[in-house]
Amino acid sequence: MDKNVVLVVFAKILVPFILLFALYVQFHGDFGPGGGFQAGVIFATGIILYALVQGVDRAMAVMPPAVLKPMMAIGVLLYGGVGIASMLLGGHFLDYGFLAHDPIHGQHYGILIIELGVGITVAAVMMVIFYAFMGEQN
């Protein structure tokens, strides 16, 4: 990696913007193109780029697998939790209208939270898969 100075420096500049863009795509998905699936994948791509130019060990220091493994499940649980919450509040499973006094606000909250759940799971799964593939070779 020592030879590719341009690559290393340029990737270092690019990574924060990729991560920021992922967050934009995540939380602006209601209004423009985007959502949890895209944001999760783009976030993972940023970390994978970092791992490819700086080495997997440094990427694992930033995003430890021990943190990512629970995150895979937390996203799905967040999604399911919204469904349970709307049931407890008197609606059907995943009926977001009951999450707030105004059904439209409820829909907004519901979509925001489940998209976050989707994003967390997708990002964590993609990064864990990448780590698993980079595991043993040199």
Partner 1 sequence: MVLLGQFNYWVVFFLMMTGFYVVIARGNLVAKIVGLNIFQTSVFLLYISMGKVAGGTAPIVLADGALYSNPLPHVLILTAIVVGVATTALGLALVVRIKEAYGTIEEDEIHAKDDSL
Partner 2 sequence: MRWRGRPCIPAGIRACPIRSAVIDQVIDVLLLILLVITAIAVVRIKSLFAVVMLFGIYSLITAGIFVVLDAVDVAFTEAAVGAGITTVLMLTTLARTGHKQAPARHSPALPLTVVIITGAVLFWGTQDMPRFADPGAPIHLHVADRYIEAGPEEVGVPNMVTAVLASYRGFDTLGEVAVVFTAGVGVLALLGVRRRRKGDGDG
CB of 25 to partner 1, least distance (A): 13
**What phi and psi, each to the nearest 5 degrees, are found at residue 5?**
-60, -45
CA–CA separation, 21 vs 97, rounded Å?
29
- Beta carbons within 10 angstroms of residue 117's beta carbon: 21
Nearer to partner 1, 87 or 112 (CB): 112
- Interaction partner, residue 13 (partner 1, partner 2, none; CB < 5-8 Å by kind): none
Amino acid letter, residue 61: A
Please give the residues from 99 up to 138 whose contact with partner 2 meets the rule CB under 8 A.
104, 107-108, 110-111, 114-115, 117-118, 121-122, 124-126, 128-137
Q: Which residues contact 27 (CB under 8 A, 6 or more apart)?
A: 112
Please give the residues from 32 up to 51 whose contact with partner 1 meets the rule CB under 8 A.
32-33, 35, 37-38, 40-41
Place of tokens 């994978």: 48
Is residue 85 near partner 1 by the rule CB under 8 A? Answer: no
